[in-house]
Structure 1
């Protein structure tokens, strides 16, 4: 049995060293990979559309979704650390085979919906920046994601750093646009009061939720934390668990700020104006050029492109984690990339409105959230699996409340759309 006086392995010794910056950095990384999926092109579409149509009305949805995401990703990271296995692997081991197959099928659909948003968003960005037609742009984005994925062959650190750098550029672009837009602080604060304006605002709220608490990244995050740092016993696992919580708070705090900035910029620049088409990505780009200047429009398009490239890499990795975990099977990365590209390329080829496709894809993601959340809550409350990292009762209650809210929101949407 390992006690608090047991020798600490080198990575943990570094993390606990008196040099706080270097030590904390070793424990950071997995949540930044997750965070880039929280600022993917689907977020651009849902948040910008919400701000342009409803002003500051849905600020509370963005904030609430991000707080929920912090809790969910903390549980997910802790699950991988405590068990040494990803969420799909745990589902395969503990769920009946028919249910496990169903879970795999819906998870693959969720991953494909994710890739749809990311490739379309990147293609739109290439069109806005360089005039590249959407279909060739989708092919370019899908192919370019291989360069980022290739970094995984060198270990987890280069991949995490590359994703964090891309996230940093996205943050910078929206920070500049937010300062330039100068949104009304009092109106933004009033947007923290929960309220809706009809079914369309509910649809956008579900889209924001699906674009923030993303099912595929729940699977990914659980696969990034097992065996990342060698640990021996509960004492050392608690050290790493504390670092993972900090990782989540920083990374998702940054992602949440970007999401909020997207909505605030659109609300202050477009809501109540006569600028046309500002509920589309192309319209937002043109509108920013009109209201804030060319630099703001270019910054938006560059951030959109980097978001598409980074998030589609994470999405492809998610598909690998899903198949390997639920079915214990692998297919070559090139074949998987081609399969997941097909829906996005089909949408681009037939001329469906890209922004509409992005928003609807995020609604699909919202319907996939309960199937990822429920197993996370089930497993993290089991002491036989989690050891000392088992959930407290309050934590489980909060996670159950989030899951219940998502299920209720989706049921209401189905009822409204069918009426």
Structure 2
């Protein structure tokens, strides 16, 4: 029908033009933003956390990874819906609806979040280059920064080029961990038993809180809302609903891939390291060495490649988040190269001073934890407002679930922050 209308010369909306690509092409064009966001859920910090969970407690915390992924799906769905319904990103909405002093505070903390994100990703990528090629950490960090800049430059060719490259990088991570899981094996019965919620002692509570509390990454909330805003503008309520259905599918597929990777990380560590004498499995290089010892060099190689790809993809997304943040909160832009340098300097400084990479990753997660309420609460508040969302306003049950998730994530991150401060 759409094709006939176009052939007849009638004016076509952007969505109609997209659907004119055919049944498959019309659906694929709706996918992409969530795959960019999903990269944040398989960043180097997740590598360490999930591997530690499996090494220390075996399959005990499988349920935590599953619950965390379900929470992420709802949060990213709301974020995608916000950009689609309002035609504005979350920072833009904050600038429009919050008092000026509050907006400035929001901007400062969001910039710190973007820098903390880049810190973790660059360090993780540098560690991967060291594991793969023996490149020292500081030159490795520079290489990661330059390579991620090349990925970011793809945005000049339009949103699809950037989304496709990020989705391909995510695919490499999925394949690497799928291969490692097959090589390491897994106790299916024990993994299924791990779906039953239970904990063992204070340390397992702390680790579970770390997995759940690190689920919502504030910078991808800003990015996801901007990506759905910029893609296919709807011309009526019916098109808005059609686009939202596409975004829900996008989130389901992308976050399912990220959740599969996180689960594979835990299962591999549980099968390879739990109740073994492999040392140092609470660090990235320790996990790499442990895989080489217990599974084989191919598994260690797959882990290092996945870590490298994760660092490249996630630092590109983190730098783009900084651009979205400044443009939204302040209506200001700075050159991409300058933005890349600003976010890269803290990571390179840490590597230059020889600080422990794992410690730096932990500290970056503390900063991210601090930024979660500033991103998550406005999303819940805005998506429940009919004057902003129109026919995509939250159902009361959706708002209730989102409020529960926000309260849980904020409480867990507050608990983790207190644990870090008190030692």
Partner-residue secondary structure (3-state), 1:139: helix
Q: Which moved more, 1:8-17 or 1:232-241?
A: 8-17
Paired residue for 2:300, among 297, 301, 312? 297
**Residues 14-413 of structure 1 correspond to what in structure 2 (within 5 A)?**
16=19, 19-413=22-416
Alpha-carbon distance between aligned partners in 2 of 1:155 and 1:411, rounded to the nearest angstrom: 39
Which string of whole-angstrom CA distances, capped at 9 and with x for unpartnered residues, describes residues 311-362 of structure 1?
1000000001011111111222222211211221122222222223223423
Alpha-carbon distance between aligned partners in 2 of 1:53 and 1:355, rounded to the nearest angstrom: 17
Alpha-carbon distance between aligned partners in 2 of 1:239 and 1:222, rounded to the nearest angstrom: 17
Structure 1 residue 414: deviation in Å?
Answer: 4.2
Alpha-carbon distance between aligned partners in 1 of 2:133 and 2:96, rounded to the nearest angstrom: 49
For the 8 Å contact 2:13–2:235, the answer to whether it is kept is: no
C-alpha distance 283-377 of structure 1, shift in aligned 2 (>3 A): same
For the 8 Å contact 1:380–1:390, the answer to whether it is kept is: yes
* TM-score normalised over the length of structure 1: 0.94
Which string of whole-angstrom CA distances, capped at 9 and with x for unpartnered residues, describes residues 188-232 of structure 1?
222223334455434433432354321100000000011411321
For the 8 Å contact 1:31–1:251, the answer to whether it is kept is: yes
C-alpha distance 178-9 of structure 1, shift in aligned 2 (>3 A): farther
Partner of 2:16: 13
Alpha-carbon distance between aligned partners in 2 of 1:224 and 1:291, rounded to the nearest angstrom: 42
Which string of whole-angstrom CA distances, capped at 9 and with x for unpartnered residues, describes residues 356-383 of structure 1?
3223423432332221110000000000
C-alpha distance 176-339 of structure 1, shift in aligned 2 (>3 A): same
Which string of whole-angstrom CA distances, capped at 9 and with x for unpartnered residues, describes residues 271-306 of structure 1?
110011111111111111111111111111111101
C-alpha distance 288-69 of structure 1, shift in aligned 2 (>3 A): same
Q: Structure 2: which 5+ residue stretches go unaligned?
A: none
Alpha-carbon distance between aligned partners in 1 of 2:219 and 2:201, rounded to the nearest angstrom: 29
Q: Which moved more, 1:307-316 or 1:192-201?
A: 192-201
Alpha-carbon distance between aligned partners in 2 of 1:8 and 1:24, rounded to the nearest angstrom: 21
Which string of whole-angstrom CA distances, capped at 9 and with x for unpartnered residues, describes residues 85-111 of structure 1?
000000010011111111111111111
Structure 1 residue 187: deviation in Å?
Answer: 1.8
C-alpha distance 349-54 of structure 1, shift in aligned 2 (>3 A): farther
Alpha-carbon distance between aligned partners in 1 of 2:134 and 2:110, rounded to the nearest angstrom: 34
Alpha-carbon distance between aligned partners in 2 of 1:37 and 1:210, rounded to the nearest angstrom: 14
Alpha-carbon distance between aligned partners in 2 of 1:248 and 1:16, rounded to the nearest angstrom: 20
* TM-score normalised over the length of structure 2: 0.93
Partner-residue secondary structure (3-state), 2:229: coil
Q: Which moved more, 1:34-43 or 1:12-21?
A: 12-21
Q: Structure 1: which 5+ residue stretches go unaligned?
A: none
Q: Which moved more, 1:227-236 or 1:89-98?
A: 227-236
Which string of whole-angstrom CA distances, capped at 9 and with x for unpartnered residues, describes residues 6-50 of structure 1?
x78355236556943222101001111111121111111111122
Q: Which moved more, 1:148-157 or 1:32-41?
A: 32-41
